[in-house]
Amino acid sequence: MLFSPASGRPYITLARQFAEVAEGMVFIAENGTYVVRDGVELSSDVLDRSVVADLARTVRRLVADGVDMGIVVSGKRSAYVERTDEAFLAEVREYYVEHRIVEDVTAVEDDVIKVALFDFGSAEHTTAPALQAFAATHHVVVSGEHWVDVINRSANKGAALRGLQRELGITPAQTMVFGDYLNDLEMLDAADWSFAMSNAHPEVVRRARHLAPSNNENGVLRTIAHVLGL
């Protein structure tokens, strides 16, 4: 069996979290834009520099208009931020163990695979609607109560998972996935054994075939053990 952490978090963060058991794992990081196994890149989906610049300008305008938010430009080597206050950096540190403060996020020398926006208010009701111009050409996904991610239209967790299935000869009937937020929707479609956590976003619950206990009750581990008869 193959276990694959599929997350909006960067590869570096996931690799550290799973360091003791990471050998052989396939990490589907940054919502499917960066897939790595044993330190070797299997695939990536890099954002165009002009898009990163447009997003940075949009965020700066929103901040000037009074929206309490910040931008995280996520590259293969590190994440990059401009905002320096402790309240924002504390939120960044929770997900990006490798991050750097720079004067201009559009000038970093790295392959950018995702732009994440943190909104101290409601990401779904404030930040996401302000990015509708990008939604026409890119994947704009609310990945948490306060986070919105922007990635290439071709990228999502489901696309990355289907690529793994093709490469390894694994069918949807042999695949089990768990999701709780909107960045998991496409991944749920790639597996017959698709589970929403009981405390998941309502749209995730509607999309999944099955329901698991909440992630506050060890729902993933309990469900795996039950299905496999462990």
CA–CA dist 194, 185 (Å, integer)? 10
* CA distance readout (Å), 110 to 63, 74, 77: 25, 9, 7
Cβ partners under 8 Å of residue 196, min gap 6: 178, 179, 180, 188, 204, 205, 207, 208, 210, 211, 212
Q: What is the pLDDT of residue 8?
A: 87
Q: For every one of its 230 residues, what pLDDT tens digit does the chain have, with 9 covering 90 and above? A: 899 999 989 999 999 999 999 999 999 999 999 999 999 999 999 999 999 999 999 999 999 999 999 999 999 999 999 999 999 999 999 999 999 999 999 999 999 999 999 999 999 899 999 999 999 899 998 888 899 999 999 899 999 999 999 999 999 999 999 999 988 999 999 999 999 999 999 999 999 999 999 989 999 999 999 999 99
Write down the pTM of the prediction: 0.84
| Degrees, nearest 5: CA angle 120-188-230 | 105
Beta partners for residue 37, in sequence order = 26, 40
Q: What is the pLDDT of residue 211?
A: 97
